[in-house]
Amino acid sequence: MAGTSPLRRWKPFFPAFGIVDAAIEDSVVPALSRDKVRSARAEVVELLRGVPAGDVRKAEELCVLLDGFMAESLLTLRAVPGEAVPRVLASSADLAMAVGALRRHESERVRGLARDVIRGWAAAVEEDIARTSTAMKRLDDVCRATKPAVAASHPKQNKTAPVAVGHGPRRMNSRGIPAEKMEVTKRKLQQGYQEVEDAKRQRKIQVIQAPKVLEMKQKKVHPILRERNQATTVVSRCAVSSS
C-alpha cells in the first residue's frame, strides 16, 4: 500500500516532477535551470527512502518538503500567460495528464494548485481557439472579396480556339521522316540522274559525229584550197620542229 512505502503519498505521482521541470525549462522560463531544484529534491527523496517503515513522523516531514517542491512548480505553471499556454502544452505530450493526475493528490495544497492550473489552461485554450477561428474567418472574407476583383480585372474572352484542319495521319518511315517528303526527294534524285545520263549520251553522240562532220566538210572544200591547207599545215610543223 502507498501508506507503508517510504515515499508514501508521492509514490504514484513521482514522475510528474521530471515532466513539469522539463516543461518549465523548455517553454516557460528557458533561461532558468532547474538543476538546483532537482538536486535538492533528490536529496529529500534519498532521505525519505532511508526512513524506517515505522517512523511515520519523519516520513511525513519529508513528504511535506516534496509537497513544497511540487507547489512551487505548479505556481510557476499557473503564472504562464494565456497566449503562451498552447506552446507550453505542445512542448510535452504528458504534461497535461501529469498535472491533471495531481488533482487526486493527498495534499490539499497540491490538489488545489493542480486544479487552478488545469482551469487556467482550459480557458487559455478556448481563447486561443476563438482567436484562431476569428482570424480564419477574416482570412476567408478577404479571399472571397479578392476573387470577384480578380475576375473583373481579367474578363473572360469568348474566343473560339482555331480548329486545326488535318489531312489524316501522316505516314512515317522507320526513321521518322514523312513519306511524302521521301517521295519528293526520290523524284528529284531520279530527275537528276536522268539529266546526267542524257548529258553523257549527248556527249557521246557529239564525239562520234564530229569526225564525220569534219570529213564531210573536207569533201566540200575545193581541191586547191584543200592542198593549200595541207601545205600550210606541213610548213607549220616544220617550223615548230626546227625551232
Sign, CA torsion 179/182/186/187: positive
Closest CA relative to residue 102, chosen from 125, 80, 70: 70
Average pLDDT, the chain: 75
Cell of 164: 486545326
Q: Can you give the pTM of this predicted structure?
A: 0.55
Strand, helix or coil for residue 57: helix
Q: How many CB atoms are located within 10 Å of the residue 119 CB?
A: 11
Alpha-helix runs per DSSP H in 32-175: 35-49, 56-78, 85-90, 95-101, 108-153
What pLDDT is recorded for position 239? 43
CA angle, 207 then 205 then 210, to 5°? 40
What pLDDT is recorded for position 156? 59
Cβ–Cβ < 8 Å for 88, 23: yes
Query: How far apart are the C-alpha atoms of 96 and 98, rounded to whole Å?
Result: 6
Condensed to tens digits (0 to 9), the pLDDT of residues 110-152 reads 999 999 999 999 999 999 898 888 888 888 888 888 766 555 6
Residue ranges per domain, the chain? 2-136, 179-242
Evaluate if residue 223 carries a pLDDT over 60.
no
179: CB partners within 8 A, 6+ apart: 170, 171, 172, 173
